[in-house]
Amino acid sequence: MSGDRLAAPDVLRGLAIAGTFATNVWVFADPRGPGAVFAGFAGGWWLDTALRAVANGKFLALLTLLFGIGMELQYRSAVRRGLRWPGRHLARAAILFTEGLLHYVLVFEFDVLMGYATASVLVAWLVGRSARVRVAAACVAGAVTVLLVGGATAVTAGSTGADVPLPPYPATWTGQVAARLADPLLYRVELALIVPSAVVLFLAGSALLRAGLFDAGATTLRRRMIGTGVAGALLTVLTTLGGDPWFLVERYLIAPLVALGLLGLVPEVLARLRGPAGPVRCGLIALGRTAMSCYVGQNVVAAVLFGAWGLGVAGALAGVAAPLRTGAVVGVWVLVVAGSAAAAGWWLRRHDRGPLEALTQALLRGRSPASRRGARTP
């Protein structure tokens, strides 16, 4: 791979982190908190809807594909070093689940790390199997995802925000923590969709890396992926026009198509860039190399900024006219993403990994070395 393509995974990961926060920021900016997701966003204007549609699930799906690529690289490393697989990966998944659990309880109702950890345990047993087994597993997980999304869409068709009985969102941080602990079935129900869809995308990411996604000669593959992304973008327009009933279809069935397009597009763009990386590319690379730290950190900052127990920006914006409110929310997104990129760059000049990444590595090093048995080759 060329130097630009070597940087592509980090740039893609940084883009995914920035885009995922573009979804989360709207939840934090609504005084109802998670109620805005369950009951439907209201009181905005068409640009709010368009911005949420652009971000809804696309960058999360991209992040999930990249996680699958990372699992494939870990598997290859284990094979190359003669280590048992999944071996230490199961410990890594347990640490990730614990970090996700803390993130959920202390910060944000819609954490994805717990789902990633669960799905990664399932995929760890599949990544070294034959292509036929991997494809069959992906088809089963995909069918489960389609059935769940279709069922949820059918059940909620015709309902409105008023039909959703939700308790008032607590104004204090301790109250919010207590609510998350008291209602895990309500706030963690999305795991039923995250896990099977993540299994599909993890396996897809692994397969794409094996197909030479980042190789110079894989232009045809990447162009096909870009075409898939264009089709997904057109379908997104239709689901957006269809309104809230199509939210889950857009998030879990169409968003992965757009994510595939982005995964093919970014390496192609990077290969055509000339000269040293500018501030945007450097910022995305820094975000990508500290992805988990930035994912959690951005949500922590947003919780403090918007929460009634923090600076209370969500409440202050509640009565502001839609265009100004939209500008304020987008402005916060820009500031938080730019600030986290700058902080990540500063950190990486002094350390090899982000804070949470370093913590994970330290916890893994604290375990006994993996026993040396031959890992199954693909």
DSSP 129-157: S-HHHHHHHHHHHHHHHHHHHHHHHHHHT
- Per DSSP, 244 falls in state G
Q: Is the pLDDT of residue 1 over 50?
A: no
Residue 168, domain member (yes or no): yes
Token output for 161: 């925000």
Cis amide leading into 369 (omega within 30): no
Angle at which helix 113-124 crosses helix 88-106, to 10 degrees, equals 160
pLDDT band at residue 371 under the 50/70/90 scheme? very low
Cβ count near 352 (within 10 Å): 10
Mean per-residue pLDDT, 201-228: 96
Residue 142, domain member (yes or no): yes
Query: What is the rounded CA–CA span in Å between residue 280 and residue 338?
Result: 9
Residue 157, domain member (yes or no): yes
Mean per-residue pLDDT, 120-136: 96
Residue 372, domain member (yes or no): no
Query: What is the rounded CA–CA span in Å between residue 135 and residue 129?
Result: 10
Q: Considering its fold, how many domains does the chain have in total?
A: 1
Residues 6 or more apart whose CB falls under 8 angstroms from that of 2 comprise 216, 271
Residue 374, domain member (yes or no): no
Q: Is the pLDDT of residue 36 over 60?
A: yes
Residue 370, domain member (yes or no): no
Residue-level pLDDT at 341: 98
pLDDT band at residue 40 under the 50/70/90 scheme? confident
CA atoms within 13 A on the CB side of 192: 14
pLDDT band at residue 166 under the 50/70/90 scheme? confident
Q: Is the pLDDT of residue 376 over 50?
A: no
- Domain residues for the domain of 88 are 3-365
Residue 171, domain member (yes or no): yes
Residue 376, domain member (yes or no): no
User: Can you give the pTM of this predicted structure?
Assistant: 0.93
Q: Is the pLDDT of residue 378 over 50?
A: no
